[in-house]
Amino acid sequence: MPMEMITGRIATNLEGLKQFTATPGEGCTRLPFTKEARGAVDYLKGIMADAGLEVWEDAAGNVFGLMKGEDPDAPCVMMGSHYDSVIKGGDFDGIAGVVCAIEAARQLKERGVVPKRNFVAVGFCDEEGMRFGTGYFGSGAMLGNRDVEYCKKFKDTDGISIYDAMKGYGLDPERIGEAKWKEGSIGSFLELHIEQGPVLDAEHVELGLVNCIVGIQRYMVTVHGRSDHAGTTPMDMRLDAVDAATKVISKIADWAREKADGTVATVGYIHTVPGGMNIVAEQVEFTVDIRSSNNDNINDITKRIRAALDYETKQMGGSYEMENKLTITPVMLSEEMLDIMEEDCKAKGYSCKRLASGAGHDSLEIGQVLPTVMLFVPSKDGRSHCQVEFTKYSDFAKASVIMTDLAEKLLTR
Ligand code: GLV
Ligand code: MN
Ligand code: MN
């Protein structure tokens, strides 16, 4: 299949999916269990069916396309990524990996591959955790790591739980357990994704072989003080939640910097209540996202945040809660599959390098228990989780061929 043809098909699909955003003209906002998610899933179902795949959606909102192998009971080869996005994000994060998994199925068919085992293309629901502060909902459910309690526990900033959001979307959260795949039914997982960082673009390397994904912990912190008049309440007589919270927040980035090993920590959301210029805030909510390839660093920063919250809220005379939204340890990806792809890149004359991923992925959840591999394509200037995110369609085409080659190898052995 000529590369121009592959590039064209990927471009058509990704251009078609751009319409499913809640913020047209301002980037991709495709939060889980919304009409934009529904639109994207229906579109994916259409192109999966066009590719000759057997299509279904599961109890968690994941969408699958199956190419049957000679032995449908043998552990399958699964390939894909997520179809949700962050708020005002780019048009490639996640969804490109779903489109390229469907593209791999097309190429396998065109090559006349007779698979010994099933090939499954997948679009996962809610990888980002943007709406509920969590992460890897669909891939976690596929592995049996999400239950009804989980769905009831986590809520978005409007107070809507995953449970209620699923119901509004037409899914029955009571059946979330049905999304679990039988133990041993998935043999390997392959994910193509944009790098979302600057390394490949800056070094003019065509493809990134991902050997490790950082661990992540996420928290929603709520600091409680007392609302009072901003003019009449003396500084030593107020319970200022903003004062206490910001004293903690201001230290978090430095604690990550201090590690000097790539550890990062981010406070990406801050909300004050009631949020008036002349009112002492009674409450501050803020998120913390900590990542490192060294899990001890994550635990250490978490411990320091707790200690600082203990101290500052005591000084203030208030209280706090620190709700864990996600804890996942770093993961090493399959050396065997990396070697296969590296050899293939060499044979095809594509430059490649091994690198770690600072972004989280469905592969982080899946790689904890299954042989998993990721292939990165360059992101222009490393920009991602913003509207300017850009990768050339021809780069996706190259990566799709390398991943199809790997899938072919796994399917025919
Ligand atoms: C997802 O892209 C994440 O790394 O948070
Ligand atoms: Mn992603
Ligand atoms: Mn993302």
For CA atoms 254, 255, 256, 258, the dihedral sign is: positive
Ligand 1 pocket member 213 (CB < 6 A): no
> What is the Cβ-side half-sphere exposure of residue 401, based on CA atoms within 13 angstroms?
21
Spacing, Cα 372 to ligand 2 middle (Å): 15
Q: Which residues are paired to 326 by β-bridges?
A: 218
Ligand 1 pocket member 208 (CB < 6 A): no
Q: CA 186 → CA 46, 135, 180, 370, 371, distances in Å?
A: 24, 21, 11, 8, 9
Regions of the chain with pLDDT less than 70: none
Reading the block at residue 350, the tokens are: 């594509």
Spacing, Cα 361 to ligand 3 middle (Å): 8
- In contact, 396 and 356? CB cutoff 8 Å: no
Which letter, b or e, does each residue of 186-217 get, where b requires 16 or more Cβ atoms within 10 Å of its Cβ?
bbbbbbbbbbbbebbbeeebbbbbbbbbbbbb
Per-residue 3-state assignment (H helix, E strand, C coil) for the chain:
CCHHHHHHHHHHHHHHHCCCCCCCCCCECCCCCCHHHHHHHHHHHHHHHHCCCEEEECCCCCEEEEECCCCCCCCEEEEEEECCCCCCECCCCCHHHHHHHHHHHHHHHHCCCCCCCCEEEEEECCCCCCCCCCCCHHHHHHCCCCCHHHHHHCECCCCCEHHHHHHHHCCCHHHHHHHCCCCCCEEEEEEEEECCCCHHHHHCCCEEEEEEECEEEEEEEEEECCCEECCCCCHHHCCCHHHHHHHHHHHHHHHHHHHCCCCEEECCCEEEECCCCCEECCEEEEEEEEEECCHHHHHHHHHHHHHHHHHHHHHHCCEEEEEEEEEECCEECCHHHHHHHHHHHHHHCCCEEEEEECCCCHHHHHCCCCCEEEEEECCHHHCCCCCCCCCCHHHHHHHHHHHHHHHHHHHCC
Per-residue pLDDT of 177-219, as tens digits, reads 999 999 999 999 999 999 999 999 999 999 999 999 999 999 9
Ligand 1 pocket mutation, candidates 28, 128, 214, 362, criterion most atoms within 8 A of CB: 128
Give the number of the ligand closest to the Cα of residue 357.
Answer: 1
What pLDDT is attached to residue 1?
Answer: 80
Spacing, Cα 82 to ligand 2 middle (Å): 7
CATH of domain 3-214+330-411: 3.40.630.10
Nearest-CA residue for atom 5 of ligand 1: 360
- In contact, 77 and 119? CB cutoff 8 Å: yes
- In contact, 75 and 187? CB cutoff 8 Å: yes
Ligand 1 pocket member 362 (CB < 6 A): no
Q: For 215-328, give the CATH class.
A: alpha beta
Please give the Cα distance from 348 to 342 (Å, whole number). Answer: 10
> What is the Cβ-side half-sphere exposure of residue 355, based on CA atoms within 13 angstroms?
22
Residue given tokens 């980037």 in the structure block: 27
Spacing, Cα 216 to ligand 1 middle (Å): 10
Ligand 1 pocket member 32 (CB < 6 A): no
Annotated domain spans of the chain: 3-214+330-411, 215-328
Ligand 1 pocket member 359 (CB < 6 A): yes
Spacing, Cα 316 to ligand 3 middle (Å): 37
For the CA of 128, the closest atom of ligand 1 is 1
